[in-house]
């Protein structure tokens, strides 16, 4: 039996809100300082959506850029997957709203909830569905407006998160380029260490529990698990292909904070000049982090044709994922 072709990335795009929130701005809002934020996170600015701006608007803008990059139109897409934990509504899915905004008539559309791992989880699903032969080209998006879930009086979380979306178009590959391997994993025992406990069926909105409707995080524990999980994920995805660390041209870690990025690079033995960093300008954009970084790296020349790129991520759940992509 002839092997079915694997999938490749045909185009990428990203979108962020115009508003930039600097550390100096945060100094006026909460008990913090530019020095405190930079020392602990490496973040200097982040983009914040205006009130009333949902994820779908950013996701659709990123998707348009990806379609232009791929030289494709809405009629060429028959599958849409959006990784997000900050969708416009509980339902319908943000993917359906993107479908509406782009005018994609003949497509299946759904969301994936895997927090910061949402894009790579969605990419794995999209790649598998393309391999099945039921779909031709998929639009894979990671997007978040986590500023809508932040407690702006909590300096340990409100300084971290930014808003944005990144998108990739994938289709069949007939050459050596493409998605070579992906590894997904989770451990629900630690679900309470990074959580938004409100808004769901366990704690539906009521006047007396609005304090629950914000992100809560045990930072030290998340740091420890994130470094170990992303490092292990990279080892596992390399093991699936027989490739070595030395073969990787660029490592794109989830842009959670600079300390985690540096710790992962050190643990796996990747030189700093081959580890991509943009957390200083965008903050932690959760599921948007990896696709935004891929698009920026491609357009700036950090990723060139033939390059092998590794992406690793970690999020609430806990979930984590790693991927190897040949461009």
Q: How many domains does the chain have?
A: 2
Claim to verify: residue 147 and residue 258 sit in the same structural domain: no
Per DSSP, what are the bridge partners of residue 204?
A: none
In sign, the C-alpha dihedral spanning 73, 77, 82, 83 is negative
Claim to verify: residue 223 and residue 196 sit in the same structural domain: yes
Structure tokens at 28: 């006026």
Amino acid 1: pLDDT: 35
Q: Looking at residue 167, which CATH number applies to its domain?
A: 3.40.47.10
Give dist(CA 273, CA 251) in Å, integer.
Answer: 10
Amino acid 2: pLDDT: 44
Residue where a domain stops, chosen among 175, 210, 228: 175
Q: Is 116 a catalytic residue?
A: yes
Give dist(CA 20, CA 25) in Å, integer.
Answer: 9
Among the listed residues 196, 225, 254, 257, the single catalytic one is 254
Claim to verify: residue 44 and residue 81 sit in the same structural domain: yes
DSSP E strand stretches across 173-284: 178-186, 194-195, 216-217, 250-253
Q: Is 284 a catalytic residue?
A: yes
Give the structural domain span for 230: 179-326
Residues 292, 21, 226, 229, Cα dihedral to 10°? 0
Amino acid 5: pLDDT: 64
What backbone phi and psi angles, to 5 degrees, belong to 83?
Answer: -90, 115
Whether 2 is covered by a domain: the verdict is no
Taking 3-state DSSP, the helix, strand and coil percentages for the chain, each rounded to the nearest 5, stand at 40, 25, 35
Claim to verify: residue 58 and residue 124 sit in the same structural domain: yes
Give dist(CA 173, CA 46) in Å, integer.
Answer: 35
- When computed from its CA atoms, the radius of gyration of the chain, rounded to whole angstroms, is 19
Give dist(CA 169, CA 240) in Å, integer.
Answer: 24
Among the listed residues 116, 183, 225, 257, the single catalytic one is 116
Amino acid 199: pLDDT: 80
The answer to whether the peptide bond before residue 145 is cis (omega within 30 degrees of 0) is no
Amino acid 4: pLDDT: 57
Claim to verify: residue 205 and residue 148 sit in the same structural domain: no
Among the listed residues 23, 196, 257, 284, the single catalytic one is 284
Claim to verify: residue 88 and residue 159 sit in the same structural domain: yes
Give dist(CA 199, CA 57) in Å, integer.
Answer: 22
Claim to verify: residue 109 and residue 183 sit in the same structural domain: no
Residue where a domain stops, chosen among 151, 175, 199: 175
Give dist(CA 86, CA 213) in Å, integer.
Answer: 12
Q: Is 183 a catalytic residue?
A: no
Amino acid 175: pLDDT: 87
Give dist(CA 314, CA 319) in Å, integer.
Answer: 6
Residue where a domain stops, chosen among 129, 149, 175: 175
Structure tokens at 122: 């969605």
Q: What is the DSSP string of 82-125?
A: EE-SS-SSSSS-HHHHHHHHHT--S-EEEEE--GGGHHHHHHHH
Structure tokens at 300: 């700036």
- With beta carbons less than 8 A apart as the criterion, state whether 62 and 104 touch: no
Claim to verify: residue 203 and residue 61 sit in the same structural domain: no
Per DSSP, what are the bridge partners of residue 313?
A: 321
Residues of the chain with pLDDT under 70: 1-5
């Amino acid at each position: 039996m002839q092997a079915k072709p694997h999938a490749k990335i045909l185009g990428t795009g990203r979108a962020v809100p115009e508003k930039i929130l600097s550390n100096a701005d945060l100094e006026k809002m909460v008990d913090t300082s530019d020095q405190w934020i930079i020392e602990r996170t490496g973040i200097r600015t982040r983009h914040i959506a205006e009130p009333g701006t949902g994820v779908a608007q950013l996701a659709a803008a990123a998707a348009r850029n990806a379609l232009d990059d791929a030289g494709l139109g809405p009629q060429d897409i028959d599958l849409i997957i959006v990784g997000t934990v900050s969708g416009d509504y509980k339902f319908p899915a943000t993917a359906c709203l993107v479908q509406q905004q782009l005018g994609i008539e003949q497509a299946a559309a759904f969301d994936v909830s895997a927090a910061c791992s949402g894009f790579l989880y969605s990419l794995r699903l999209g790649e598998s569905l393309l391999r099945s032969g039921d779909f031709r080209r998929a639009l894979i998006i990671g997007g978040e407006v986590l500023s809508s879930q932040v407690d702006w009086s909590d300096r340990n979380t409100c300084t971290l998160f930014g808003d944005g979306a990144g998108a990739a178009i994938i289709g069949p590959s007939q050459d050596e380029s493409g998605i070579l391997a992906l590894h997904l994993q989770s451990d629900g025992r630690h679900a309470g260490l990074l959580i938004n406990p409100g808004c769901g069926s366990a704690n539906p909105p009521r006047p007396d529990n609005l304090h629950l409707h914000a992100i809560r995080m045990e930072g030290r524990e998340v740091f420890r698990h994130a470094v170990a999980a992303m490092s292990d994920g990279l080892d596992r995805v390399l093991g699936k292909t027989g490739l070595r660390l030395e073969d990787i041209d660029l490592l794109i870690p989830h842009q959670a904070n600079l300390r985690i990025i540096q710790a992962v690079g050190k643990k796996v033995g990747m030189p700093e000049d081959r580890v991509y960093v943009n957390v200083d300008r965008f903050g932690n954009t959760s599921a948007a982090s990896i696709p935004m970084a891929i698009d920026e790296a491609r357009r700036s020349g950090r990723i060139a044709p033939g390059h092998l790129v590794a992406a690793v991520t970690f999020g609430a759940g806990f979930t984590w994922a790693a991927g190897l992509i040949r461009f």
